[in-house]
Structure 1
Amino acid sequence: MGQGYEDHLVTQEADIPEAKGLYTNDIQRLYKVASAIVHLSQQDLDLSTYIGQIASLKEQFLTVMPLTPDVGAQQTQLDKFFMVLTLIGLRPDLEPIRDQILGSSSVPSLDDVFARLLRGRSGTRGRGQRPHCTYCNKLGHTRDRCYQLHGRPPRTAHMAQSSDSPLPQPPSSFASQASIASVAQPGNASACLTHTSSLGPWILDSGASDHLSGNKDLFSSITTTSDLPTVTLANGSQTVAKGIGLALPLPSLPLTSVLYTPECPFNLISISKITRTLNCSITFSDKFVTLQDRSTGKTIGIGRESQGLYHLTSDSSPAVCISTDAPLLIHNRLGHPSLSKFQKMVPRFSTLSSLPCESCQLGKHTRVSFPKRLNNRAKSPFELVHTDVWGPCRTASTLGFQYFVTFIDDYSRCTWLFLMKNRAELFSIFQKFYTEIQTQFNISIRVLRSDNAREYFSAQFTSFMSHHGILHQSSCAHTPQQNGVAERKNRHLVETARTPPP
């Protein structure tokens, strides 16, 4: 038993330093160790192996959660541990959120993890899947948001039953904090919401069946007829609308058939009606609401959340819903627009003089064109020699040649051409060319300029160049312009061979 226990400990301790490289951060390692601790059981293992595993997990746990006398560090470690326990106990449908948290480059705090889980809860539900309450067995909410269990919270919008069934009476404590009103069509289907005592801006209401306003000054035109619908309040009382007309909360958002009811000191926009009349789509987030024209995709109105209600803002210009004040971060999220376009999209940065975005500078680089002529010709023969290999040719010559190599003197532009059957012959041909130059002209080649073909960098070629003191200049990758003399000479030779004289 003791021998098996010691062997197990040695093996695990040796593996711990190597395992550190398998994870991108300490949270992943802590998650792995804590998950193993939570799910550890003896089952069919013998007792020595089981005890060895416990001891090994203890050592691994102390590696990722070392003991420290610092109170602040202890609190941080405690938050990490409970964060990992939270992730371990998640349902399978929340695994994508858990993987995102574990894959974060920086370690999030416990409160950040809770917030991300709550935000991502709605996004993990599949299409057609609605949340289910285990208390009232109804769809559309969960137990922690069940009104039958917790009661309706104050200062929030809620739906009411139709007038065919009795309206529920709110608790006295709730009725004392806010007044409740509703608007109905002639069919008396009603919706209700809470409001504060002061008259605020237009409010988007998903339960209202008609637009409603108690402020006559907001109407562009108003008419009075005998056939006006009845407005039903949430407490069961009814009143007849005093007029119907047109209102313009925004220039791009005309509201038709708005009911005028002086008894109701607030302004409601019916979501169901505005989506039908304006053919628009409405997107809600935790802080903003956006109205977009479905045919053009243009934003026709925006709003902000305040005390549980979505108020339509008075700014009619298109705006970007942002939650940061860093201009560079906003610039990145908007797709790296130019400074002028960025200032039009986010007007509060109109005084910005520059936008030092490194990604724009690197991603929008273009290759600078090469000059047509350089005034740096060699001053003496064979001070600089250009060379390049051409081939293979699709049709071999009668003797089987498919390649040729050229050597051009930069001073005189005198050219030597040698035919080759394969590229491996280059070294032997260069040796013959070098010997010929020394014999005929009694001069040595100083610099050889070529591209990055492998045959110019073989071990034999490099050793020969070094032995004879020849400098080798090679062009940059994908830049044939730097070896332009040889490239242009090869083009001239090929064009001449393809168009022989008659």
Structure 2
Amino acid sequence: MEDVWIMDSGCSRHMTGHRKWFSSLNLISTKEYITFGDNGQGKVMGVGSVSLSAKLSLREVAFVRNLGFNLVSVSQLLDEGFEVRFKKGACCVLDAEEALVFRDDLTSVSGPERCLFASPSADIWKWYRRLGHLSFDLLVRLSSMGLIRGLPKLRAENDLVCHPCRHGKMVAASHIPVSQVMTSYPGELLHMDTVGPARVASVSGKWYVLIVVDDFSRFSWVFFMEFKDEAFGFVRDLVLRLRNESHKAMRAIRSDNGGEFKNSRFENFCRDLGLEHQFSSPYTPP
């Protein structure tokens, strides 16, 4: 079977185990494997080009160790813009102008029965890395739409896991989580943060939102702002009002390190009222 190329409609890519066929070959060091029908595996040693005829050159052909057959992937030919027609006793490959570029006379080959099977996992891992670690489900859907030239039809196994992505999404807590309220009464500590700019302005033309949350009761106040630097005025008015309404002293306010909070106006205001201005870790909810 060394000199015979088999037109395979179930193979996801062109592949051969015989180096002599390659007109150009780039050896690769990545760990990519093709699974055979007997559950054996052959390592992909390189990728290159093979000329089947004067008019047809196969690209992206995998050089697979221990593969005793030469396989032409029908799906890869279709993805590259060729048309494949099966007729009685022959298989014809035509280009975009419907000119014949290759003809394979289908004849019976006597010999031991073989089961040719190429696992799709190697292909999907290759395209997964090429497209920047796109999700496997989205990659399979994208391949079925035929929008990317050269992207074969892919299938994903259920147990595919990208360990670098899994490790990259792990985060370490920047502080010890607080599981209980540490304050003793409402108004003792206020958390505050701003949101915006929004994609669409509010009815009154506001682009930002100031949110203030009481640590003890979780009661919240929401203020709409046209600019972020309006936060000081809203916080000042709220703090003064709460001090007049409550007989217990407010001890601190807590915000992030945003410029709308970390400025001289806030620091002078807190110093005059005897408030502690605490700063939280980035991206930490109140």
Higher helix share: 1
> Which structure is larger by alpha-carbon Rg, 1 or 2?
1
TM value normalised by structure 1: 0.22
Q: Which has the higher strand share?
A: 2
